[in-house]
Structure 1
Amino acid sequence: MQTQQQVSGAFALIDSLKRHGVKHIFGYPGGANLPIYDEIYRAEQAGELQHILVRH
């Protein structure tokens, strides 16, 4: 029997980017996208991605 695991949309997004070979992400953190930045932080700590802060 196979069990299913629930994941957040933020996890699914970052996991998909990593699977496609993305190494650098440009972005500007803010209220609505903070869950995504939590996943980016985890990926950066693991050495899988690099976030580059942009300016407006």
Structure 2
Amino acid sequence: MKKLVLAAALTAAASSASAGSLADPIIEAPVIVEEATSSSAGIVVPLLLLVLVAAALAAD
């Protein structure tokens, strides 16, 4: 009798141990942020510096 109760308890524990559901899990895509840079961004500062130096030399 004890073996029958133990077998029933183990069977019940094994069958109810499934966690989750039959539906597919919802996985959100990671957010990737890219900074937009233009190819002319690196030339603007040196050109402005050149214009300022030229203006300073012309003012003297």
* TM-score tier after normalising by the smaller chain length: under 0.3
Higher Rg? 2
Which structure features the higher share of strand residues? 1
TM-score, normalisation: structure 2:
0.25
TM-score, normalisation: structure 1:
0.26
Structure scoring higher RCO (CA < 8 A, sep ≥ 6) equals 1
